[in-house]
A and B are shown apart, each in its own frame.
Chain A
């Protein structure tokens, strides 16, 4: 369903109605993962490895099982063998097999009648470990002699002679980079690092599982995608997918980290063994130690540029570790690295490296923020070297419609130039700076996603509308879907209720990931509404005794299409629906597809920082996000996504990092020392919504959720360099690093 060029006037889209989930959330009525309970429920607790790498010699649960109220203990032996590929990785991560692969890796779990008893029983499970050498650093994990995480994990892509911890090798590009570098006046090459950071969602993972002796199960959980949870859990338990029904709770943040499973298969296995419902709620420490942060990265970038700022070639070599499993997002990092630039010659190499860290999970534009940090930092360095305006250089080299992208495909209509022009025109860009202040700019990109999508839209007897969607609402999708349904049907926003329904109610839906929900679920909703409108018109036609083709749908009513069709007063949706049972039955619409017309979103950020020259403390004093939304359905939510991305990016740039000790243990598994920004750390983040319609969506929607976390990393580092004269190429640019650089 392509963009409707004719329609530029909207009745509902672009307005800012109240959010449908707002009242429940502010009054505490919203039910999150830990709010679910069942009669006879047990509480689960997980035994976790204190070692970064160890062989599990023996697990003795006899003391735990002897405790009154302890009903079950499970280990890997309670799960079937035979998972393949990523299913095996998920199983191995949820419950260690022969070896514990990182600090916090689950090795056993207990179920008991109270949470405290479960905790004590978990402590009573005796695990004998043989400690093995470990490695947590991505570069060290690739070196000769580094401990091998798992022999034979590398796939076909890895060239011979690499360390076994290198499990994937990626190479792509076009043109001739060597020729491009020769054409440049200046060629610069530098290395950059970013540490792993956690999504930091405020709601820890929680679930309630119930497995019957007939092999059928129910699961209530906090997730971004319950069909994924169902498939992954069924694979771990060795049951058919449809035996399991999964219902999502409200969700207190996910940012990509809740698109997989950690505790759900464990709770199901405990429930199966104890024959009672089992609830597991993670602690914050468990979340930080044992759920997926993003990957840590070590990156080399080389760029050639002429004196007037034309980029002649770019090369990126990225090494990333996503923990003791494959699938660090090095491929998407490379695909985004030079996405903003129209480059004749570009080359990418990527290494996916295993280390003794938790299995990485998606985090908002996975890979792209690291890539942007490396590339946008180097572009800034070269602009300084050549005394060129960094915004003009970006405009000069900007990718646009028809550009062959660095990742290969030719861009359809995109909005990078428009965001750069809007940033240039923004008063922030030319505002004076105070003492010890500096300004940085950077651009970023995320390609977005479509994904499997199934939506049903049902009309009620009074003409109001229920939309059943399968994408949990993590960023306002219920509001935007309701608005699109209201726009399409010509009804009021308040007359549409959007429910996120369980796995039995629709076909497979991918999670709310890839900034896809408003795009894909929205598109499916519009199509379902179109189907319902067709039926509504048919009912009116039947009543009037005319051809269905002679009826049009306008302003929420069926009308004769013209004078030739006959003279009939309009029939409202309520009037038709009141009689639908007697005129042919219920009226609904349904749509399912994997829409491929998703459109990438570009953004450009401007940030001012003030650095205390005596302590290295950085304050973010002004921040402006400019981003292409395609079409902002609910502008407040779009602005919220822009601000949220910037806030997380600021945290990543300044203070957030996974800190591992010499012993391979995570040193900061609490929010005191894993420093996300608090409200007072941030200025009011200004936003500019650019609307360059996505040709692949009827209303022009692009995903907006992820791009916003991409520019802050380099923008902050560029601003710190501007304020201090010191270029820091490793994140976070925390006060000790800045002060050490200032003091030389």
Chain B
């Protein structure tokens, strides 16, 4: 195994695209190092991208959105009061991952590229409408988060490609987001179901909605039917029932050691309702 510490994305891409073996990018290492130790992967080229200029920064853009560097840790996001005020659901989703120690290292992009269907930050990013800059040997492109995972452990990134920046949209007025997951314990666990909801209101009426589910299908995904169930409503009982039904219909889970198909499907509806209520209250300014 060769360890690389590139000073620029160009160098990192060059190493990754010319490597003849297995490559892994190392940022927080909370997945890669664990997989190395557990003998799940033995990369030929381990490319440490923490030392590239700017990767540890959160920048507020002129449009009110945020650019988040690819090595920004969960702890750094949680400590950013402005980001937290705008996107509490996104920040809380990231904060649910692992222990305090893991939070000091874990990153959004690492969580995304590990491509676990149960990754907590991914449904929250999808609901928030987060996009990414992907750079590779043939140039750069903008990609929505939901287009990155293609299956458990698999992404749409081509050989030599890497994510170089995370773009969070401007929050705007009368809007709020939330993420909830179900775990059998209270922490240090992996989502059996995850749900992110992002809403905008006019008065009491929902005008924009994005709902994303995790751990109930091979990839975390946007559920447009669930959003449709919310738009134009005041989150009344009928809307909540329609939301739960749409969320449940979008489920395509597996029976495994973490939960049954029936359980995951039921709980997806429950979490969608609960997350929608939190996002709604936040959009109304009633809660933080």
Residues of A within 8 A of B (CB): 119, 285, 614-617, 619, 654-655, 659, 667-668, 672-673, 675, 677-678, 680-681, 734-736, 739-740, 743
Bound CA–CA A614/B258 (angstroms): 17
Are the C-beta atoms of B270 and A677 separated by less than 8 Å? Answer: no
Tell me, in angstroms, the Cα distance from A51 to B188 when the chains sit together.
30
In this complex, what residue of A is CB-closest to B258?
Answer: A673
* Bound CA–CA A619/B186 (angstroms): 9
Do B185 and A675 have beta carbons less than 8 Å apart? Answer: yes
Once A119-B39, A739-B263 are accepted as A-B contacts, the answer to whether A673 and B186 lie under 8 Å apart by CB is: no
Complex-state Cα separation, A743 to B260, whole angstroms: 14
Check A285/B38 contact, CB under 8 A, given A678-B187, A736-B263: yes
B residues 240-288 near A (Cβ < 8 Å) are 256-260, 262-263, 266-267, 270
Given contacts A677-B185, A680-B187, 17 further A-B contacts (CB under 8 A): A614-B270, A617-B182, A672-B189, A672-B190, A673-B257, A678-B185, A680-B185, A680-B186, A735-B182, A735-B184, A735-B263, A736-B259, A736-B263, A739-B263, A739-B266, A740-B262, A743-B266
Question: Which residues of chain A have C-beta atoms less than 8 A from B185's C-beta?
Answer: 655, 675, 677-678, 680-681
Contact call B257/A734, Cβ cutoff below 8 A? no
| A-B CB contacts (within 8 Å), total count | 56
Q: Is the interface of B mostly helix, strand, loop or mixed?
A: loop
Complex CA gap A734/B192 in Å reads 12
State the CA gap A285–B260 with chains docked (Å): 24
Which residues of chain B are near A743, meaning CB under 8 Å?
Answer: 266
A347 vs B269: C-alpha distance when bound (angstroms)? 49
- A736, B186: Cβ atoms under 8 Å? no
B195 CB to nearest A CB, Å: 12
CB-CB nearest in chain B for A671: B188
Cα–Cα distance between A38 and B197 once the two chains are bound (Å): 57
Q: CB-nearest residue of chain B relative to A734?
A: B184
- The CA of A677 and the CA of B184, in the complex, are separated in Å by 10
Residues of the B chain whose Cβ atoms lie less than 8 Å from the Cβ of A675: 184-185, 189
Chain B residues with CB under 8 A of A667: 256-257
Q: Return B256 CB to nearest CB of chain A, in Å.
A: 8
Q: Scan B117-158; emit 1 where CB is below 8 A from any A CB, else 0.
A: 000000000000000000000000000000000000000000
B278 to chain A, nearest CB (A): 15
Interface pair A654/B186, CB less than 8 Å apart = no
A617 and B270 alpha carbons, distance in the complex (Å)? 12
Closest A residue to B99 by CB, please name it.
A678
- Judge whether A668 and B257 touch: CB under 8 Å: yes
* Bound form: Cα–Cα A678–B190 in Å: 13
In Å, the complex CA distance between A739 and B270 comes to 12
Q: Sorted from nearest, which 4 A-B pairs have the closest CB atoms?
A: A736-B263, A680-B186, A614-B270, A667-B257
**Complex alpha-carbon distance, A239 and B189, angstroms:** 47
Q: Report Cα–Cα, A341/B188, bound state, in Å.
A: 41
Alpha-carbon separation in the docked complex, A740 to B263 (Å): 7
Distance between B98 CB and nearest chain A CB, rounded to angstroms = 10
A659-B184 contact, Cβ under 8 Å, with A285-B38, A672-B190, A675-B189 = no
A736 to B39, CA, bound (A): 31
Q: Roughly how many angstroms separate A617 CA and B189 CA in the complex, as a whole number?
A: 14
CB atoms of B186 and A678 under 8 A apart = yes
Cα of A615 to Cα of B263 in the assembled complex, Å = 8
Q: How far is the CA of A365 from the CA of B60 in the complex (A)?
A: 59
Q: Shortest Cβ distance from B110 into chain A, in angstroms?
A: 17
User: Please, which residues of chain A bring their CB within 8 A of the CB of B266?
Assistant: 614-615, 739, 743
A681 touches B182 (CB 8 A): no
Q: Closest approach, in angstroms, between the C-beta of A118 and any C-beta of chain B?
A: 12
Cα–Cα, bound, A82→B275 (Å): 65
Q: How far is the CA of A285 from the CA of B37 in the complex (A)?
A: 12
Complex CA gap A680/B186 in Å reads 6
Q: What residues of chain B lie closer than 8 Å to A673, measured between beta carbons?
A: 190, 257-258
Q: Which residue, of B184, B192, B260, B270, has the highest number of chain A Cβ atoms within 10 A?
A: B184
Given contacts A285-B38, A672-B190, contact A659 B263 (CB under 8 A): no
Q: Are B186 and A615 in contact (CB under 8 A)?
A: no
Query: From A678, which residue of chain B is reached at the shortest CB distance?
Result: B188
Question: Assuming the A-B contacts A615-B270, A743-B266, are A655 and B184 also in contact, with contact meaning beta carbons closer than 8 angstroms in the complex?
Answer: yes
Contact indicator A615/B182 (Cβ below 8 Å): yes
Q: Which residues of A contact B184 (CB under 8 A)?
A: 617, 654-655, 675, 734-735
Residue contacts A-B, CB under 8 angstroms, 25 given: A614-B266, A614-B267, A615-B182, A615-B266, A615-B267, A616-B263, A617-B184, A619-B186, A654-B184, A655-B185, A667-B256, A667-B257, A668-B257, A673-B190, A673-B258, A675-B189, A677-B185, A678-B185, A678-B186, A680-B185, A681-B185, A735-B192, A736-B259, A736-B260, A739-B267
Please name all residues of chain B whose beta carbon is closer than 8 Å to the beta carbon of A680 when the two chains form the complex. 185-187
A-chain residues with CB within 8 Å of residue B267 when the two chains form the complex: 614-615, 739
What is the bound-complex CA distance between A729 and B39, given in angstroms?
A: 39
Chain A residue with minimal CB distance to B255? A736
Closest chain A residue to B263 by CB distance? A736
Give Cα A654 to B258, complex, Å. Answer: 13
A369–B93 CA distance with the chains assembled, in angstroms? 38
